[in-house]
Each structure stands twice: as structure tokens, then as C-alpha cells.
Amino acid sequence: MKIGFMGLGQMGKHMAMNLLKCGEEIVVNDLRTDSYPEFEAKGAKTTKNLKDIAECDIIFLSLPDTKVVKAVLLGQLLGNLKKGQVVADLSTINYTASTEIAKALEEKGVEFMDAPVSGMEARAKDGTVTVMCGGKKEIFDLLMPYFQCMGSNILHMGVHGCGQLTKAINNILFDINIAAFAEILPMAIKLGLDPEQIGSVVNSSSGKSYASEFFIPRILKRNFGDGYPLEHAYKDLVSGAELGAQLCIPLPVMHAAATTYQMAMLKGLGHKDKGAMTCVFEDLLGVKYEKK
């Protein structure tokens, strides 16, 4: 079996490296070639030619967004793909786009699995990401040994698009949580509470979450570069808003959180991680949530 992997970014590089454990022939591709020597040293083939990827039996993608995935799959690879091949998209993209891609590939006899992952870079490196899959059960079963090289919690969520839908719901909840404490923590400082103490209380009490545990210590140190850029995370809120509008589902809390993201991006903070939303409310209140 010949396995192709496209996208060696923050998450993709580690997932592709873990995929080497499967014992199959691996071919990797990325626009940037700085990680190629590391893969070559471990026996993987590297290529700049997408035709080499298109010849693989199974192709994994870990690309930045919907636009890139559609451009690569439908614009560059599709013409060279053949019946019986399998494409598994580990990227996080729009739910509707994912179902459109599945339809276009299946018209050529190519099987598709949307399989976005959850877990930050450390979990990608450890091979413990969660993989949420949408597509045929038999294709999920076929891919399971490869998913198990990359993740520790692999779930078949249903038909095409269900993986992306699951990821969007998880991300929206995460995004809302960060927007909430980005708003509330500066208020605590404005009212005279100690930054470290209130952070300690939140992270040892009922206000605790994965988001607070990850971001609060970093915000205290004014470290806004460890997480995913908030301008990229915003796409999940856009997807949620689109689905809510299409299906007439009211999502007032999500829309309120989206406003905080918009305010942060308008202040030029989009390239920073989501903890940087705290800066918006710090500026409004004239305080800083930082370690003394």
C-alpha cells in the first residue's frame, strides 16, 4: 500500500511522522521543504510533484482551510485520481464544502472520508489526537490502522460531513469559552482582584475548562503565540452562523462570542492566539491581566 500525505504544517508534520509507524511506503508533500530531510532520514519519500501524491492508494490531507483543500483536491488532484483510491481529509474545513468534495470524488469512483482532528500540536506529536470521521463505515474500517498511528480516540460520526460538523461543534464551544474569560478576567482586575489569584481560583473551581487551563497561564505571562491564530479559528464561528441561518437555529451566545473575535481582528490581533482577545477588554477598561 502506498500512502500519500499533503501538508506538513504545525499539526500535519507530526501526524505524517507518526504515520511512518504503519510500515507502508509513505510519500509526503508540502509547499515548504524545510522538513523534507527529517522525513527522508526516516525512510519516507518527499516530492514537490503532486502527480506522485495522486498515484498513492490512500491520500491524507492536512491543509490550512476550505479554500486550499478545494483548490488542491478539485483543482489539482482530481484529474489524476482513479477509481478505488481513498482520500482522507484531516483538515478543518466548511461542512458544506466537505460534502461537495465527497460528491465530486465519488463521481470519479474515489472514496472520501472527512476526518478532522482535535488536539493541539503536543497531541499531534504524541499521536494522541481525536479523529472525527464522516463517510462510509467500510472506508472508516479500512483507514482505522492508519488513524491509530496518529490518534488515540477515533470515532465514526456518520455520513460525509459529519466529521467536520462534529469538529465545528467542538471548536465553537471552545471558542465561546475563550471569548467568555477574555471578557471577564479584565473585569476582575478592574474590580481590584489579584490576576494570579483569580486565575488560580478559576482553574481549580467550577469555572475551569481545558481552554482556561491552557490560556490563563499564558495570558498572565503576555504570551499570545502558543495557540492557533484567532483569525483562523474564526472560520468555525462563520460556519456555525451559516448553518444556523440555513436551518433557522438561534445561536445567541455564539454570535456574541463572534463579536469578540471580530473586535480583536479589527484591532490587528488576528495573527495572535485566542488568548489575545483579552487585550480588547483590557484596553476598554484600562487594565492588564498580567503577572505582577
Q: How far apart are CA 252 and CA 265, in angstroms?
A: 20
What pLDDT sits at residue 169? 93
Q: How far apart are CA 274 and CA 42, in angstroms?
A: 35
What pLDDT sits at residue 226? 80
State the DSSP H helix or E strand holding residue 130, giving kind and residue range, or none if neither: strand 129-134
Q: How far apart are CA 181 and CA 176, in angstroms?
A: 9
Predicted confidence (pLDDT) per residue in 156-215, tens digit: 999 999 999 999 999 999 999 999 999 999 999 999 999 999 999 999 999 999 999 999
Residue 284 has pLDDT above 90, yes or no: yes
Instruction: Answer left, alpha or beta for residue 40, where phi above 0 means left and psi between -120 and 50 means alpha.
Output: alpha
Q: How far apart are CA 193 and CA 202, in angstroms?
A: 13
Does residue 53 sit in helix, strand or coil?
Answer: helix
Q: Where are the domains of the chain?
A: 2-159, 165-285
In percent, the amount of the chain with pLDDT more than 90 equals: 91
Catalytic residue among 13, 70, 167, 272: 167
Residue 145 has pLDDT above 80, yes or no: yes
pLDDT mean over 47-60: 96
Q: How far apart are CA 26 and CA 283, in angstroms?
A: 50
What pLDDT sits at residue 119? 86
Q: How confident is the model at residue 228 (pLDDT cuts 50, 70, 90)?
A: confident
pLDDT mean over 8-23: 95
Predicted confidence (pLDDT) per residue in 74-133, tens digit: 999 999 999 999 999 999 998 989 999 999 999 999 999 999 999 888 899 999 999 999
Cβ burial, residue 260 (10 Å; 0-12/13-18/19+): buried
Question: What CATH number belongs to 2-159?
Answer: 3.40.50.720
Does residue 205 sit in helix, strand or coil?
Answer: coil
pLDDT mean over 56-79: 95
pLDDT mean over 37-48: 96
Cβ burial, residue 232 (10 Å; 0-12/13-18/19+): middle
Q: How confident is the model at residue 51 (pLDDT cuts 50, 70, 90)?
A: very high
What pLDDT sits at residue 36? 96
165-285 fold:
N-(1-d-carboxylethyl)-l-norvaline Dehydrogenase; domain 2 (1.10.1040)
Kindly report the pTM of this predicted structure: 0.88
What pLDDT sits at residue 227? 77
C-alpha cell at 259: 463579536
- Is 274 a catalytic site residue? no
C-alpha cell at 71: 483548490
Q: How far apart are CA 157 and CA 278, in angstroms?
A: 34
C-alpha cell at 82: 482513479
What pLDDT sits at residue 223? 96
State the DSSP H helix or E strand holding residue 206, giving kind and residue range, or none if neither: none
Q: How far apart are CA 43 and CA 37, in angstroms?
A: 10
- Kindly report the average pLDDT of the chain as a whole number: 95
What pLDDT sits at residue 292? 83
What pLDDT sits at residue 197? 97
C-alpha cell at 113: 472520508
Does residue 177 sit in helix, strand or coil?
Answer: helix
